[in-house]
C-alpha cells in the first residue's frame, strides 16, 4: 500500500470554507475526492448506522485514560526545564494558529484537526462569528462580579435551558454557570447532596467513567478506583459496571443514595456506547427509588452525537445535566442545569464562581449556540458519522466503529492506537487514543466534504500501515 496522503494545502491558502458536510445518504459519503491510491479499502459498506454495536466487555482494555491518549501527541516524559508544572507530557509540536478544520504549527506545517481540542472546537478554529462576538464584548466589558448583572448571563442560561428541555413543553430548569466540566460536575455533586441532606449523600457512578480531576470529581471517576495517589479521597462515592441495569437497580435501592452520575457515552474509556434503553431504564429506576439522575454531558453535549444532548436519544430528561467543552468553542465555559425543584435546594452563598458567567465567556457561548442552531449542528453530526462509518468500518486494521454522530471511537484490531495517532500526526492529521485499542475522533461540525474525505483517507492509510494485516 502507498504512503498515506499528507495534508497538502499550503500555509498561504484559505484554511477552510465552512462548507457543508456530505448530506445524509449522499453518494459522496464514501467516495474519494482526493487520491484513491492512499486507501487500502476505498470501497466500503454504505451503512448509515450512526451508532455501532458495542461489546459489554468495554472496560477491560482501558489505558491510563485521557493523559495516556494525549501522550500520543506528545514527547517522552522527562525534564524539560519548563516553568510549567509537570502535569502533561512535553509536547511534540506547538500549534500557533488555527482556522476552520486546520491547525498550523510553529514550523509552518498544517494539520487537519479531527480531535478538536478534546471535542471542544465543534465550529472549527477561529470561527468568524464567535471571534467577532469575543472581540466586540472584550471592547465593552470583559468581567464584572456576579454580585451584579451583566446583561448576558441570563440569556445564556435561557438558551441552555431551551436546548436541554427541547421538545418538552412545561419543562424548565435553572443553570449555574462556571468555567469547566469538572466545575460543572462539582456543582452537580454538591447540589445533589444538598438536595438529599442529611439522609441521602452517596453518589453512584460507573466503572470506566471520567468526571474530572478535582478531588470530588476524581473520587466520582471510575477510572480512578484503587488510586492512592491523592488519598484520602472524599467519601460517599461507589461504582457499578457501566451498561448493567441489574447492578444499577441493586445500588439505587439503598436509602442513602442521592444520585446516579453517568455519562451517556463514556468518552475517556474509548467512546463506549451503552445498549439502547439503558438511560431510559436508569430514569425509571431513579424515579422508583427517589434518586436523582445526573447526565454528565461534558463531552457528549452540544450536538456532537446528533442530538443537542446525548440523553435525548433515549427520550428522557435527567434531573441534572452538566456541560462544557463545545459550549464556548474554545472559550472556557461550563454549566450545570437542574430541574427547578432540585435547583431550589441551593440558596445564595451555597455555591459560586468568580469567573463563572462573566460577559466574555457568555458572549462566546451565545455566539456558539446561535451558529450551532443556524447550521442545524445535530444533522451535520449525523452526516459526518455516516461518512466516517462508510469509509472506515470495513477498513484494513479496523475492528469496528462505535459512537454516535461525530463523536466516534475507531476500534483497532491490535493494541496500537498510540502508534497510529503518532503516525497520523506525522502525516498531518490530529487524532487521539484514549485507550490502547481505540482512536477517538470528533471532527468540527463545520468540516467540508473535501477536508473530511482527505482526513479519513489519511486515517485509513495510517491504520492500515500500523495496524493492518500487512503491518
Domains of the chain, by residue range, sit at: 1-79+91-126+394-471, 144-357
pLDDT value at residue 6: 53
Cross-strand partners of 403: 408
Alpha-carbon distance 448 to 233, whole Å?
46
- Per DSSP bridges, beta strands 334-339 and 320-323 are antiparallel
pLDDT value at residue 229: 87
In degrees and rounded to multiples of 5, residue 338 shows phi and psi of: -145, 150
Alpha-carbon distance 321 to 301, whole Å?
9
pLDDT value at residue 43: 31
Q: Report the SS3 class of residue 451.
A: helix
Q: Which CATH number is associated with domain 144-357?
A: 3.40.640.10
Residue (of 93, 115, 445) closest to 304 by Cα position = 445
Encode burial over 221-234: b for 16+ CB neighbours within 10 A, e otherwise.
Answer: bbbbeeeeeeeebe
In sequence order, what are the residues at sequence separation of 6 or more whose Cβ sits closer than 8 angstroms to the Cβ of residue 398?
392, 410, 411, 412, 413, 463, 467
pLDDT value at residue 12: 35
pLDDT value at residue 50: 35
Q: Which CATH number is associated with domain 1-79+91-126+394-471?
A: 3.90.1150.10
Alpha-carbon distance 441 to 49, whole Å?
17
Is residue 258 a contact partner of residue 202, using CB atoms and an 8 Å limit? yes
pLDDT value at residue 20: 45
Active site residues: 210, 296, 325
- Alpha carbon of 269 to those of 68, 265, 308: distances in Å? 11, 9, 22
- Alpha carbon of 68 to those of 72, 337, 421: distances in Å? 7, 31, 12
pLDDT value at residue 69: 52
| pLDDT tens readout for residues 83-104 | 999 999 999 999 999 999 999 9
Is residue 42 a contact partner of residue 225, using CB atoms and an 8 Å limit? no
- Alpha carbon of 276 to those of 133, 272, 302: distances in Å? 39, 12, 20
| pLDDT tens readout for residues 109-157 | 999 999 999 999 999 999 999 999 999 999 999 999 999 999 999 999 9
Is residue 280 a contact partner of residue 316, using CB atoms and an 8 Å limit? yes
pLDDT less than 70: residues of the chain = 1-80, 225-226, 471
Amino acid at each position: 500500500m502507498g504512503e498515506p496522503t499528507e495534508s497538502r494545502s499550503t500555509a498561504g491558502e484559505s484554511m477552510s470554507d465552512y462548507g457543508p458536510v456530505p448530506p445524509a445518504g449522499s453518494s459522496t459519503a464514501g467516495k474519494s475526492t482526493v487520491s484513491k491510491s492512499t486507501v487500502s479499502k476505498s470501497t466500503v459498506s454504505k451503512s448509515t448506522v450512526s451508532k455501532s454495536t458495542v461489546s459489554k466487555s468495554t472496560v477491560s482494555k482501558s489505558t491510563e485514560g485521557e493523559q495516556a491518549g494525549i501522550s500520543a501527541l506528545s514527547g517522552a516524559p522527562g525534564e524539560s526545564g519548563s516553568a510549567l508544572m509537570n502535569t502533561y507530557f512535553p509536547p511534540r509540536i506547538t500549534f500557533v494558529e488555527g482556522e476552520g478544520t486546520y491547525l498550523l504549527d510553529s514550523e509552518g506545517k498544517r494539520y487537519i484537526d479531527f480531535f478538536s481540542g478534546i471535542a471542544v472546537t465543534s465550529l472549527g478554529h477561529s470561527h468568524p462569528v464567535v471571534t467577532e462576538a469575543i472581540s466586540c464584548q472584550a471592547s465593552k466589558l470583559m468581567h464584572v462580579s456576579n454580585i451584579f448583572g451583566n446583561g448576558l448571563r441570563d440569556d445564556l442560561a435561557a438558551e441552555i435551558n431551551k436546548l436541554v428541555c427541547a421538545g418538552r413543553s412545561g419543562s424548565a430548569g435553572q443553570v449555574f454557570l462556571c468555567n469547566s466540566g469538572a466545575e460543572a460536575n462539582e456543582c452537580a455533586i454538591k447540589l445533589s447532596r444538598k438536595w438529599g441532606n442529611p439522609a441521602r449523600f452517596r453518589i453512584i457512578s460507573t466503572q470506566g467513567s471520567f468526571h474530572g480531576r478535582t478531588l470530588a470529581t476524581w473520587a466520582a471517576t471510575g477510572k480512578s478506583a484503587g488510586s492512592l495517589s491523592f488519598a484520602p479521597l472524599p467519601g460517599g462515592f461507589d461504582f457499578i459496571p457501566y451498561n448493567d441495569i441489574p447492578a444499577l437497580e441493586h445500588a439505587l435501592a439503598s436509602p442513602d443514595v442521592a444520585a446516579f452520575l453517568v455519562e451517556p457515552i463514556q468518552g475517556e474509556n474509548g467512546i463506549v456506547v451503552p445498549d439502547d434503553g439503558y438511560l431510559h431504564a436508569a430514569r425509571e429506576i431513579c424515579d422508583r427509588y427517589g434518586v436523582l439522575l445526573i447526565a454528565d454531558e461534558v463531552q457528549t453535549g452540544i450536538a456532537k452525537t446528533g442530538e443537542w444532548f446525548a440523553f435525548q436519544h433515549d427520550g428522557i430528561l435527567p434531573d441534572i445535566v452538566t456541560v462544557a467543552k463545545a459550549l464556548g468553542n474554545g472559550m472556557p465555559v461550563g454549566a450545570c442545569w437542574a430541574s427547578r425543584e432540585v435547583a431550589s435546594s441551593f440558596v445564595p452563598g451555597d455555591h459560586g464562581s468568580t469567573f463563572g458567567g462573566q460577559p466574555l465567556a457568555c458572549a462566546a457561548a451565545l455566539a456558539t449556540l446561535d451558529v450551532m442552531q443556524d447550521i442545524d449542528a445535530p444533522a451535520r453530526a449525523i452526516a459526518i458519522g455516516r461518512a466516517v462509518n462508510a469509509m472506515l468500518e470495513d477498513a484494513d486494521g479496523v475492528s469496528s466503529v462505535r459512537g454516535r454522530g461525530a463523536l466516534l471511537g475507531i476500534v483497532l484490531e491490535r493494541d496500537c492506537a498510540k502508534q497510529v495517532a503518532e503516525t497520523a500526526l506525522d502525516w498531518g492529521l490530529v487524532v487521539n487514543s484514549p485507550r490502547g485499542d481505540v482512536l477517538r475522533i470528533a471532527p468540527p461540525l463545520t468540516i467540508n466534504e473535501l477536508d473530511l474525505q482527505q482526513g479519513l483517507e489519511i486515517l485509513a492509510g495510517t491504520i492500515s500501515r500500523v495496524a493492518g494485516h500487512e503491518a
